[in-house]
Structure 1
Amino acid sequence: MAKTILVTCLANSGYRRAGLAFQKGENHLEAAQLSQAQLAAIEGDHRLSIAQADPEGPVVENRLGDGLDSAEGLNLALVEDELLRPFVAVIDQLARSGELTEGKKPKVDELAFETEDDQGKAIKVKPTAAQRDAAWEVYQQLIQQPQAGAAEQAQGEG
């Protein structure tokens, strides 16, 4: 099966970039039909989010960027959706560095990270708004777990 590229367009339907017209929302493109220049133009446009899609699998293979295979103090193995793990790790990094306003979810662009494709070429992976929202929800649950566990332990001792 041919590799496809999933491009999520945040602009109105009919938005054009790199000689292509995009519909608002998800657009599936054949990777072999796109030139490097077209890919670069799409990747550089903040109104477009690009991810490699495998017709037989999830939208982005779980190729974690540097430092995104773990998150200090968080057990990423508890994140059931493997595609969300790197985004949860980025949220954790932003929170620990003070770049994240407490209680306020990050913007999609803030969660972008670089990794490698099948050929070892560097690619930028940016979540869709839905992926960002899901990663934020998972992150909120993960940071509450240690507190919940400590509260239950304290009640058991009392």
Structure 2
Amino acid sequence: MAQVSDQTQEQVSVLMVVSRQPNGYRRAGLAFNKGDNHLLLAELSAEQVAAIKADTRLKVFETSMAVDSPGSLDIPNGDTSLTSTATTTASVSLSFAEAIAKLDKANKEHFTSSGKPQCIALEALMGQFISAAERDAQWAAFTATADGE
């Protein structure tokens, strides 16, 4: 990953798209790879965003990511093949607790209505598939530890 300077990092809006379809699945004029795909929102039309969000085969949420140097995004475990022509870098996978710390409780794309973290949001930060059962077990352990402190 590129070295991050002490300067304040600029944040850019990104559409995080997780596909369980085979590589090359297409929607809105874009080809998606199986797994995480990160798209700069500024480079997408409103129609493309709507079409991607409407596709039930894709899990989609909006987030922001840091630009750590001119033309370089700090994309956590991202598939950089579909991001803009900017140079991208992948960061280290986060643990469950680290991923939880990065989620916004007020964002329905990060947490369910019952207060559990969304699997798709965790997957994007942890860099691996997490089932609802795995999430529930880790969430129970996490909340028990948090309540015990």
Q: TM-score, normalised by structure 1?
A: 0.45
As a proportion of its length, which structure holds more strand? 2
Rg (Cα) greater in structure: 1
As a proportion of its length, which structure holds more helix? 1
Q: TM-score, normalised by structure 2?
A: 0.47
Task: State the structure with bigger RCO (CA 8 A, min sep 6), 1 or 2.
Answer: 2
